[in-house]
Structure formats: structure tokens, C-alpha cells
Amino acid sequence: MQGGKLSATELTEYYLERSERFQGALNGYISLTRDKALETADHVDSVRRQKGHLSPLAGIPMAVKDNIAVRGVPTTCASKVLANYVSPYDATAVEKLADCPILGKANMDEFAMGSSSLTSAYGPVSNPWDLKRSPGGSSGGSAALVAAGCAPFSLGTDTGGSIRQPAAFCGITGFKPTYGRVSRRGLLPLAPSLDQMGTLTRSVEDAALVLQEICGYDSGDSTSAPHGVPDFSASLIDDVSGFAIGLPKEIMESCPDGGTSRAVEAAARKLEQAGARVSWVSMPYLDESLAAYMLIATAEAASCLARYDGVAYGYRHSSLSLEEMYTGSRIFGVEVRRRLMLGTFNLGTDSGYELGQQAREQISSHLEKLFTEIDLLLLPAAPFIAFPLAEELDPLTMYYNDVYSIPANMAGLPALALPCGESGGLPVGMQMMAPRFREDVLLQAGYTWQCRSDWHLRRPREVEL
């Protein structure tokens, strides 16, 4: 594009065309924003013609998860409650990527509550590797669109694994930065103390480029980290010699999907050959961590969703009494209702949320100690591979999807999911976690892996031309 051989408009048109063609099969978008995308592309092209200033990613289109505010377009969180809600402002990350044409708002689980993208009020998302399977969730649309080549990259959010598990299910690269790295301003919250915005890309290299743009302190988010942002691309080095990698023994031994644990272990050996030191470590508290996560996440969600009471948003039951108006206006889906009930109970009792927070502190301090011995943790991104859409998972099994990813949210760590193999013909993802603000370690290790493997280059057949 800088050489004038390709215009932003041509590139955007290409992705829009693909997005529209596969929308029926994937249902990856809740709304497609063709006009807005072309408007941005046209602006970029004219600035480029006039040799004006443009940001590094100017003209590269993206899909934005529908729980991230984009001015002038619907921001629904995949819920009927926000069916008619049009955000009057852009999220900070969207502002920072203002030169990237927005193709559309990506489908997801309703209010990001789920690991399947099945709970969307706008229909389930299909996995491009097998349309009868789930792309994972909650950033299922964001992952499916990148995997299917409908968007070069997308923005997602991760509260307990919502970027990493769908990235693993769809065979792409998912990056959840350190809590506080990316402003949460404009992220419609699931659980504010756990939520973090991140990227879904084809490669670690792309992740570094997008992260460079969206990370950084924002005075509009009081929990935003004041830390300076390093040059992430400088960490794209094919070298892990001297890296101490910890492999959690309990997880590798008990992972329900044998193909997954085999692929992750094989990857560990390959990194060892590349010069890393791999050792077994112990993370004996995963079940407790999942339980504590549910206590915290449901309580905070119940609080954050209190505003959708039927007064200002969505459907309002017309009735004379205030009580009837409130009770008649409840149009949340089943999973959201379930979590709101759990969350309200956890808020109401003194023990629930507090207990979760105490467990969280213990997990954080354990991980902190672990990172005095190792540079990064290597583990599966999820305990399962993409499951069939038709399979009715019970809620507890569904929650178990996030069991390997949750510790990073509990401790605010950066984590990266990478394709590392296949199991039953479906992608398998591995996950790396590093100490807070050490995105550089993840980028270097992930880049080294992708220099020595080709899993991230494979494309799903079904939607390939």
C-alpha cells in the first residue's frame, strides 16, 4: 500500500466481499459495516495520496468484537437487551486504530458469558474448520473470521480465556496482554477486574504489530497501567536459548484431550531443541481457581449488568407498577440469567465474592513465586478441541473450557495461544504465560515457535476458495 500498488479501498473491498460471502456459513458478524469501512479506507487512501501522516496499520481492515464500543454502529454484546443500542463513542483501542477500516462487529457469546459462541442472541458462530462445530468463545466470531480469512485481524476480549480458547479452536494466534496494558474504556464489561482486550491474528508477528498500537496508558481508565510500552517487534527473534519453560505436570497428565497434551508436549521438546530449558512445575489448584473465578466473575457481572433493567435499554415492559416494569423487561438468555442469579447470590452473601478474592490472591502469589524459577509457563490453551454445535454441554463442562486460561486472568498475566498441532483433524492450541508486563517474553518464544512450525500457516479447507 505504501508503494501505491494496493489501495486501502481495494484491500477493504476484498475482505468485505469475503466477509459477506461467508456470513451465511459462519455467522461471524452481528453487523457488517461496509459503508463505515469504505469511508475509513477512502480517508486513508486520500491521506496517503497527499503524503499525510498515517499510523503503521492504516488501511488494514479489522473485525471488532461486539462488546467493544464503536461510534455510530450497533454494540449489542450479542444480547437482545442491546439490540437497538448504538454507541455514541469509540473505545480507546478503537480510537487508536482509527485508520483501520472496521468490517463489522464480531459475534460472541451473550455478554461474553460462554466458551462456545452458542449463547449469542443472534445465532451461533460456526468453526471454519468444521461448520458443525463451535469456534469456542466468547470471542468466537473474532476467531472464526480471522481463521476463515474474512479479516486480517480482529479485536477480542478475554475474561477467563475468551481470546485464547477460540484462537486454539480456530487454529490462530490469540494474545491477552497484562491486565492494565490495554485501556478498558469502551469495553462493555463482563468482570472489570478480570477483563482485558487483546488480539486475534494469523501470527505472532501480526500480534506484535497490533499490540503496539493498542497498548499504553489511558487516563480514561483508572486501572490502566502507567508502564511504558516497549517496541514489541524488537522481540520477534528466533531464539529461546536460555529460556526456562515450565510445563505444569498435573495439567499435562490430566488433560481430557490426549491429542492436545501430546501436541503441547511435542512443542515443548521442540523448544527444548531450540535451546530452552524445560522443566516440570506444579499448578495444583486449577479446580479451585475455576471455582474462585466463577465467584468473582459472576458477582462482578451481576453488578455490571444491573443497568440493563428495562428502563434505558432494550425491551421495556409497559406497566403501571415499577416492580412489574422491572420483572417484565427481563429478556436475557439462559446462560446470562444463570450467571446473574449466581452472581447476585455471591454479592448478597458476604462469603462468595470475598472467598473468591482470597483464593485469587493465593493463586497470584503462587504464580509470582513460580516465575522466580521460570521465564514462562507452557500449557494447553484449552482442555478440549472444538466441540460439535449440536452437543449440549452441561454448564459445568462448559465452564471447564477455561480451566487452563483462568489463572492468567486471576493474576493479571499476559498469555498467548498458538496453534501447535491437530487432534482428530481439528486445530490444537498451546498457551504461554509470562510475568506481568513481560509480553516481550511471550512474543519472542511464540515467534521462535512459529519460525519452527507451520501450524499457523494452515488454512481451513471448507471455506477455502
Partner 1 sequence: MTTPIIGLEVHLQLHTEKKLFCSCPSDFAATPNTRVCPICLGLPGTLPILNQGAVILALRAALALGCTINPISSFERKHYFYPDLPKGYQITQQRQPLALGGRVETPVGAVDINRLHLEEDAGKLIHTGGGTLIDFNRSGVALVEIVTAPCLTSGSEAKAFLHSLRQVMLYANISDCKLEEGSLRCDANISLSGGERTEIKNLNSFKAVERALDYEIQRQGKAQAQGEKIIPETLRWDEAQAKTVPMRAKETPGDYLFLQEPDLPPIQIEVELVDRARMSLPELPRLRAARFVLEYGLSQERAKLLTATKEMADCFEQLVATGATSLGAANLLLGEVSRLLNLGGELPSSHQLAELLALQEAGSISVTAAKEVLAQMFAQGESAHSILKKKNLCQISDNAALEKLAEEVLARSPGPTEDYLRGKKKALGFLMGAAMEASQGRANPVVLKEILAQKITAQPKKY
The yes or no reply on residue 88 touching partner 1 (CB under 8 A) is: yes
CA of residue 230 relative to chain centroid, distance: 22
As a whole number of angstroms, the distance between CA 244 and CA 457 comes to 27
Q: How far is CA 353 from CA 179, 359, 402, in A?
A: 20, 10, 19
CB of residue 360 to partner 1, shortest distance in Å:
12
Map residues 44-83 to x or -, x wherever contact with partner 1 holds by CB under 8 A: -----------------------xxx-----x-x----x-
115 in catalytic set: no
CB of residue 96 to partner 1, shortest distance in Å:
15
| Window 303 to 322, contacts with partner 1 (CB under 8 A) | 303, 305-309, 311-313, 322
Can you tell me which residue has the cell 486501502? 8
Q: How is the chain split among helix, strand and coil, in percent rounded to 5? A: 40, 15, 45
Query: Which part of the chain contacts partner 1 (CB under 8 A), choosing from 214-222, 257-265, 287-295, 374-382?
Result: 214-222
Q: Which one of the listed residues 19, 36, 65, 142 is annotated catalytic?
A: 65
CB of residue 121 to partner 1, shortest distance in Å:
15
CB of residue 148 to partner 1, shortest distance in Å:
27
Evaluate whether 84 touches 314 at the Cβ level (below 8 Å).
yes
The yes or no reply on residue 219 touching partner 1 (CB under 8 A) is: yes
Tell which phi-psi region holds residue 149, choosing left (phi > 0), alpha (psi between -120 and 50) or beta. left
Residues that bind partner 1 (rule: CB under 8 A) add up to a total of 42
162 in catalytic set: yes
As a whole number of angstroms, the distance between CA 114 and CA 332 comes to 14
As a whole number of angstroms, the distance between CA 114 and CA 140 comes to 10
CB of residue 366 to partner 1, shortest distance in Å:
22
Sequence-distant (≥ 6) Cβ neighbours of residue 438 within 8 angstroms: 178, 375, 414
CB of residue 233 to partner 1, shortest distance in Å:
29
Sheet holding 196-201, edge to edge: 29-32, 102-106, 62-65, 153-158, 196-201, 173-176, 415-423, 426-433, 376-380, 244-248, 277-281
| Window 22 to 41, contacts with partner 1 (CB under 8 A) | none
The yes or no reply on residue 192 touching partner 1 (CB under 8 A) is: yes
Can you tell me which residue has the cell 511471550? 442
Q: Decide whether 309 or 462 has the Cβ nearer to partner 1.
A: 309
Strands (E), 358-410: 376-380
Query: Which part of the chain contacts partner 1 (CB under 8 A), choosing from 48-56, 115-123, 346-354, 392-400?
Result: 346-354
365 in catalytic set: no
The residues that touch partner 1, with contacts defined as CB under 8 A, are 67-69, 75, 77, 82, 85, 87-89, 91, 184-189, 191-193, 219-223, 299-300, 303, 305-309, 311-313, 322, 326, 344, 347-348, 353
Catalytic residues: 65, 138, 162
